[in-house]
Structure 1
Amino acid sequence: MLRKVKVVEYEKSWQEQFRHELEKLKKAVGDNWIDGHHIGSTSIKGMAAKPIIDILLEVKQISKLDECSHLFSELGYESLGENGLKGRRFFRKGGLQRSHHVHAYEAGHEDVKKHVVFRDYLRAAPERAKDYADKKCQLAKAHPEDMASYMNGKNTIIKEIEQETYNWSKQFGTNDQFR
């Protein structure tokens, strides 16, 4: 059975789902915890998204997450290691009916700031968030059973928004992570 591509209208409950899950994750991570951020499309008020809560965790030592991955399993997560991104630990929950993704990084990793600034830019630029949401809706309709085509179809607009994010972040002096 394949995972379906489903993009839905924004749901207010996503913020509460994030906070609820973050509390459980914070307990699992314990004294290795630094911070947690709601990222991805569900973190952008009003934006259509796949109904999967993306959570970015900052931890003191990434290797300690490997030692406590059984605690993530107890919360229903599957550990996928780096899953293609060096320095990250990736966990997913819900199988084919995904509900949560956890992207964990050691504090100071360049991808932490990159994800947070990308989110903040879309929050500050609702017209671009709408463009991105419209593209995702179009792709979901065109490829309802082809997640790879859906993901590949987003690449161009993501790259455009990343460039805009880089330019936008210059005013705050936070653009080093995009080089």
Structure 2
Amino acid sequence: MRKVEVKPYNECWNSMFEVEANLLYKIFGSEIIDIHHIGSTSVKGLKAKPIIDIMPVVTDVNKVDEFNISMMAIGYVPKGENGIDQRRYFQKGRDHRTHHLHFYQFDNHNINRHLAFRDYLISHRDVAKKYGDVKEGLSKRFPYDIESYIKGKEQLVLEIELKANA
């Protein structure tokens, strides 16, 4: 069973993103339009679960499946859409997760949603601090219950998303 741990910001998170982004460019080549570091580890100073969320933007999301064997060779587990239509999701690290990949086609509305959320937290340090504190509290309250952790931060995430997309 995975433990929900929220840690202080780590300067290494950005270099971990860069290393992985370079691997993805080598595997996918011209299929990738851009690669973004998203999620809490992309916000300097924000407490986070130490899992690097990466959002590759591709020309055709359906072609991502053709690279599953190459992705497994570098430690990723392909999860298909994993509950979000027109996304391809991968996890690395099994029970000690290190990376999550969220592939979207260039015209998917979720790209702007993720980037707006990240950018809002970067430019609103007070909101980022509150968000980090909430996550840290939830991780201590629900160390082995990821569902309760996610549910506990859901309302704040929605509030931030609304402000970010306004």
- TM range, smaller chain: over 0.9
What is the deviation of 1:31?
Answer: 2.0
What is the deviation of 1:85?
Answer: 0.3
Percentage identity across paired residues of the two chains: 43
- Name the CA distance, whole Å, in 2 between partners of 1:69 and 1:34: 18
Question: What letter matches 2:131 in structure 1?
Answer: Y
TM-score (norm 1): 0.91
What is the deviation of 1:127?
Answer: 0.4
Is the CA contact (8 Å cut-off) linking 2:139 and 2:149 kept in structure 1? yes
Residue in structure 2 matched with residue 66 of structure 1 by the alignment: 65
CA RMSD of aligned residues (A): 0.6
| Moved beyond 4 Å, runs of 4+ | none
Mapping 1:125-140, distance limit 5 Å: 125-140=124-139
- Name the CA distance, whole Å, in 2 between partners of 1:49 and 1:158: 14
Mapping 1:111-122, distance limit 5 Å: 111-122=110-121
| Secondary structure, aligned partner of 2:54 | strand
State the aligned residue count.
Answer: 166
Mapping 1:5-154, distance limit 5 Å: 5-154=4-153
TM-score (norm 2): 0.98
What is the deviation of 1:19?
Answer: 0.4
Question: What letter matches 1:90 in structure 2?
Answer: Y
What is the deviation of 1:163?
Answer: 1.3
The runs of 5 or more residues in structure 2 that have no matched partner are none
| Secondary structure, aligned partner of 1:45 | coil
The runs of 5 or more residues in structure 1 that have no matched partner are 168-179
- Name the CA distance, whole Å, in 1 between partners of 2:113 and 2:76: 24
